[in-house]
A and B are shown apart, each in its own frame.
Chain A
Amino acid sequence: MSETGSGAPIVRAKGLHKEYGSGEGLVRAVDEVDLEVAPGEAVAIMGPSGCGKSTLLHLLGGLDRPSAGELWLEERRIDKLSERGLAQFRRHDVGVVFQAFHLMDELTAQENVELPALLAGSSPRQARRRARELLDQVGLADRAAHLPSALSGGQRQRVAIARALANEPQIVLADEPTGNLDSAATLEVLRLFEGLHSAGLTLIVVTHDERIAATANRMISMRDGAFVDEMRLTGGTKGTLADSAGLGA
């Protein structure tokens, strides 16, 4: 992956807080988190199940609203956006990749990739052309007409990644992107992320897998909703980690 990006942060969170329930049942899923991510940076967020890392990713992706705190994308404050504004933020500025792929079962791979572009107002022809490019980029041009049920887990995740890139977002957020994949598929996805990072895209990846986290520029550990540790990785492992972790071909 490329070196850590420089300049003004593209993502900035200040005192980000998310809680559920009330009284004795109150859960602080994200507790006063401060975060700055530079353009082109790859950040891995790690932690045990239930530590709040997915919730944080949902907040960063505008999928959920914080209970308190501020969230900025460059100079734009995200946490105050209307529902419609948040939808546009998700549509144009971020692409999200989920552990469970979340593809529409009744749409083909190509139609799934076309979806964000169509929502963004692209013409059907433009959306189709872009989807073909992206499927070609993720190595699935020959599977474009297949339904998700006819694809392997790795292939589904590659379709999901292509979909996340449909509107050329500034940031890609990935929630356990290899959580449901075998080693070979994990390697495929890992290589795709490396490619995206090399192309200058900002990546924020939530993962359990240290091997995945080690490919990032920065690794943040979370526990009980808060950041407990942060480690900057200086790129020496790029390209070799997969092999050393047994993911190499």
Chain B
Amino acid sequence: MGTALLVFRLAARDVRHHAAQAVLLVVAIAAATATLTMAIALSGVTSQSPYLTTRAATKGPDVVAYTTSASQAANLARASGVSSHSGPFPVVSATIHFDGRFSDVFAEGRSMTPAEVDQPLLTAGSWVRPDGVVIERTFADALGVSVGDRISLNGTSFAVAGIAVTAAQSPYPNLCNGTLVGPTPAASKFSNACPSSFNIPFLALPGGQYLSSSDDVGQIWMTEADAIGLTSKANPLTTYVVNLKLTNPGDAPAFAYDRFTVTSSPTAPLFSTWEGQEAEDAKLVQDGQGVLQPGAFLLALLAVASVAVLVGRRLSEYARRVGLLKAVGGTPSVVAATFLAENLVLALLAAVVGLVAGWLASPLITGPGAALVGAAGAPPISLLAALEVIGLAILVALAATLVPAIRASRGSTVAALNDVGRPPKRRGALIRISSKLPIPALFGLRLVARRPRRSLLSAANIAVTTTGIVTVVAFHAFADNTLSGAVALTAGGLSDPVINRDEQMLTIITVMLVTLAALNTLFTTWATVLDARHAAALMQALGARVRQVSSGLVVAQVLCALPGAILGIPLGVGLFKLAVKHGSLPPVTWAAAAALATLVATAALTIVPARLGTRQPVAEVLQSETA
């Protein structure tokens, strides 16, 4: 009880006396834990709430069937278990052009009166009319089209009458997905419902009509007459869609699967179920996991570096406290506990802050996008997820403090009391080589050699930062390539909402990475400045100018950063390849430029602490410090 009080008291007082450092430590770890919380939250996102809202608002069907004839559709509408339906509606493939961009679309012919099942919810404008089409909202966003604009379909001009959402189709650009989701165990067969994995050209609709070889197909609605008007001899009408409401919506997968297996012929209907659509809608959100998880990993690495730098900077202060505790009878375990307690408590606090912040921020990234209406809300965080986040925080704190804690508990009491820090390393060869260099380089090189562990930490800090930046650059290059590739295929110049969302998240993570790295650089520089105070004063006493000494400090940081920046290039490329399996790599010059920018930023960040550190009068430093 007494020991626990003591450990708590020392930790609490230390935090109070070094509040700024404690806050920085919490921020560093919380950044990593918040990102991990969001990544975990994404895995649990189902978009259920927005999908159900949209489904209710649009009288969403339980099953959507694509057939080769109106009579086939009519038969399905009369099938057992179907309580109501809309359609059959003709579906025609077309190419849409707007403002230099183009894409393939499903053009669905609709009545101007509202349908009993699947009546898309207008978010702008009005429903279809002759010469007036309605465009699905994610597709409209990607195309950059608004109500009142004029678009061209297979060369015929139409006005955009409205923008709408539907629960019957997956949003752009994944219209192909969500179709044919069967019940377990058939679900495994259909879980990857895209054409390539399903081994039939998905968009080869029943009847042999090919709409597109790409996923990037948009959905539009128009009057039946206008839709029929898009057909031609080369582009005949062979597909109808019928939207079915079942007596029991839970039977949808079985309904679709039974009819698909029984009649699996070239003219068999294709089905999609509402559960499949819901899962597909969630994919837009879940895709962000691929960005957040590596981001959390990188942030955790930087947090380790942050904590190590913060703890390392105060090691001599800690050492004195350790000596004192030992002198009055503290056992090694009490000493280690005291050393660790503060950082572990702060790590726990950071875990809680990260959990809450990540949970509160998750609705920002779990929003359903333009395809649905309603909000996803903050997804629930399970106990296991919370433990995972807390585990990361503790791991970060332990990684940075366990070794110093054990070393402190085993070290000499007298040395600790006398504040005898680890003596700087002497490297004779390096001293000989550096003596031929200009003063800033000489001083910088010797400072690097003097504290190899700190130099290593600086290099690691920059390596992690460069890794993050190169990953972002690679992702941007990949996104650009994907879009320019699409121009050659079907979707000319349209933005991809999935990639856009990933890029936004990546940018946020990069900003966090760069901020943490900048703080780390400042702290490392300051630790180097403090450690080198005596040597710097001595240099000045021997005739070196202040500018030469402060330049030496900058050189020291840049020398450490250089290997880190170089190492960060392959690490960043590797991380990108892990996250995006088939992504094309960025040009080497991009990655090199990113690494160079990191080096320049490091030098810039070092200048101020280096200048400040050399402002103290030389005599004062020499009198107060021992070498």
**Residues on A facing B (Cβ under 8 Å):** 58, 61, 63-64, 83-84, 87-88, 90-92, 96, 98, 102-107, 111, 115-124, 127, 163, 166-167
One of A61, A91, A104, A127 near B321 (C-beta < 8 A)? A104
One of B5, B10, B330 near A124 (C-beta < 8 A)? B5
**Residues on B facing A (Cβ under 8 Å):** 1-3, 5-6, 9-10, 13-14, 16-17, 320-321, 323-332, 334, 410, 412-414, 417
A107-B13, A117-B2 provided; 8 other pairs, C-beta below 8 A? A87-B330, A87-B332, A88-B331, A91-B328, A98-B417, A119-B2, A119-B334, A120-B2
Contact B413 A120 (CB under 8 A): no
The residue of chain A having its C-beta at the shortest distance from the C-beta of B328 within the complex is A116
One of A98, A104, A166 near B10 (C-beta < 8 A)? A104
B542 to chain A, nearest CB (A): 27
One of B1, B5, B321, B329 near A87 (C-beta < 8 A)? B329
Assuming the A-B contacts A58-B414, A64-B413, A64-B414, are A124 and B1 also in contact, with contact meaning beta carbons closer than 8 angstroms in the complex? Answer: yes
Question: In the assembled complex, which residues on chain A have CB atoms less than 8 Å from the CB atom of B2?
Answer: 117-124, 127
Question: In the assembled complex, which residues on chain B have CB atoms less than 8 Å from the CB atom of A84?
Answer: 331-332
The residue of chain B having its C-beta at the shortest distance from the C-beta of A57 within the complex is B414
A-B contact list, 26 entries, CB within 8 Å: A58-B413, A58-B414, A63-B326, A63-B414, A84-B332, A88-B329, A88-B331, A90-B326, A91-B330, A98-B327, A102-B324, A102-B417, A104-B321, A106-B13, A106-B14, A106-B16, A107-B10, A107-B13, A115-B6, A115-B325, A117-B2, A118-B2, A118-B3, A119-B334, A121-B3, A166-B328
Q: Which of A61, A87, A90, A124 has the most CB of B within 10 A?
A: A87
CA distance A167 to B5 in the complex (A): 17
Contact A119 B1 (CB under 8 A): no
CA distance A83 to B10 in the complex (A): 22
Q: Which of A58, A61, A63, A107 has the most CB of B within 10 A?
A: A63
CA distance A26 to B89 in the complex (A): 99
The residue of chain B having its C-beta at the shortest distance from the C-beta of A169 within the complex is B329
CA distance A88 to B320 in the complex (A): 20
Contact A119 B327 (CB under 8 A): no
Contact B16 A120 (CB under 8 A): no
Contact B13 A90 (CB under 8 A): no
The residue of chain A having its C-beta at the shortest distance from the C-beta of B330 within the complex is A119
Contact A106 B328 (CB under 8 A): no
Interface on chain B toward A: helix, strand, loop, or mixed SS? helix
Contact B13 A91 (CB under 8 A): no
One of B3, B5, B16, B327 near A102 (C-beta < 8 A)? B327
Contact B412 A64 (CB under 8 A): yes
One of B9, B329, B332, B412 near A120 (C-beta < 8 A)? B329
B596 to chain A, nearest CB (A): 44
CA distance A117 to B413 in the complex (A): 19
In the A-B complex, the 7 residue pairs with the closest CB atoms:
A91-B329, A118-B2, A106-B13, A87-B331, A118-B6, A116-B328, A90-B329
Question: In the assembled complex, which residues on chain A have CB atoms less than 8 Å from the CB atom of B331?
Answer: 83-84, 87-88
Contact A119 B325 (CB under 8 A): yes
Question: In the assembled complex, which residues on chain A have CB atoms less than 8 Å from the CB atom of B410?
Answer: 83
A115 to chain B, nearest CB (A): 6
Contact B329 A116 (CB under 8 A): yes
CA distance A145 to B294 in the complex (A): 50
